[in-house]
Amino acid sequence: MLKSLYSGVSGMKGFQTKLDVIGNNISNVNTVGFKKGRVMFQDLMSQNIAGVTAPTNQHGGVNPKQIGLGTGVGSIDTVFTPGSPMTTNVGSDLAINGDAFFVVKPDPNGNDFYLTKAGNFNRDANGMLVNSNGYSVTGVDGAKDQVPIVIDKDEHTNLKFTSYSIDSNGYINVVSEDGKSGKLAWDATNKQYYLNDGSDPTKDTENISLATSVVNNPGGLMKVGNTMFKATGNSGPANIERIEDNKGGQMIAGVLEMSNVDLTDEFTEMIVAQRGFQANAKTITTSDTILQEIMDLKR
């Protein structure tokens, strides 16, 4: 059979995959924290008709004669360029201007965690800061102890927190019902949350900030759904630290990082994929016509 038939089929399969990725990008154009994908093609093996001949004193060299056998998907990359910021003026909505990711856990006291750029957080009935799936937003203190962020009351004085805000380094500034203000802190000894008013500098290391993580190769992260990622062997370790320690950027409250999908690019790539699919289909129909001509030689 003609090799062009199989080359055309491989091309159609590749462009179908490209259209699948483009469709997913477009469907998530307004998804908070979504990172678009792209398909990169590479040629498959080639059949050698004749090998290489090196030049000699008597004659010049001869190049190899090869016939390509189609194309394949080389990679489906996740593009981690920044998304467009959207101002919401909601204090618990956060965006990171930098490379860091937020850290969320399905079990607040468990070891499993996920990374995300989606900062649309809120407090549940117990005052715990969670994402839209109910996963707890992880906090970290100066000793790198990981704790859930519970903005409810000062457990030393039993006074409720009446308001809170999150600064650019992820610290939670709280105000208690007696009018005192300070940072939300974690007393690891007594395992209690309390308001640190700054009067004792030795307790500053107990201040809680939102945990973040920076990985060496974001493209190696695995998508697990719900705009969350999981570290893999090729992403590098996801160490959980303060954002000021891992140099991951700054947090911006009242802003959300939206999808980095550009509809102009996606529709252009869709046209390219559609025409590529049609061209490969034409290769198959042309090959079929040639085969029909061969069959008609018998008549």
> 184 with 72, same domain?
no
Whether residue 18 lies inside any domain: the answer is: yes
pLDDT above 70 for 16: yes
Same domain, 119 and 12: no
Residue 55 falls within a domain, yes or no?
no
Residue-wise pLDDT for 24-44, tens only, equals 999 999 999 999 999 999 998
Please check whether residues 93 and 198 belong to one and the same domain.
Answer: yes
In a shared domain, residues 233 and 275? no
Same domain as 36, residue 103: no
Q: Give the strand order in the sheet containing 159-166.
A: 153-154, 159-166, 172-176, 181-187, 192-196
Do 122 and 248 fall within a single domain? yes
What residue numbers bound the domain in which 77 lies? 3-49+61-81+260-296
Q: Is 54 domain-assigned?
A: no
Residues 188 and 219 in one domain: yes
Both 35 and 146 in a single domain? no
Report if pTM > 0.85: yes
How far separated are the first and last CA of the chain, in Å rounded? 20
pLDDT at 23: 97
How deeply is 27 buried, as exposed, middle or buried, from its count of CB atoms within 10 A (0-12, 13-18, 19+)? exposed
Q: What is the pLDDT of residues 151-168, one digit of tens each?
A: 999 999 999 999 999 999
Residue 269: C-alpha distances to residues 71, 188, 219 (Å): 18, 53, 21
Looking at the domain assignment, is residue 184 inside a domain? Answer: yes
Number of separate domains in the chain: 2
Same domain? 239 vs 128: yes
What pLDDT does 72 receive?
92
Residues 194 and 211 in one domain: yes
**What confidence tens digit (pLDDT) does each residue in 237-292 have?**
999 999 999 999 999 999 999 999 999 999 999 999 999 999 999 999 998 888 88
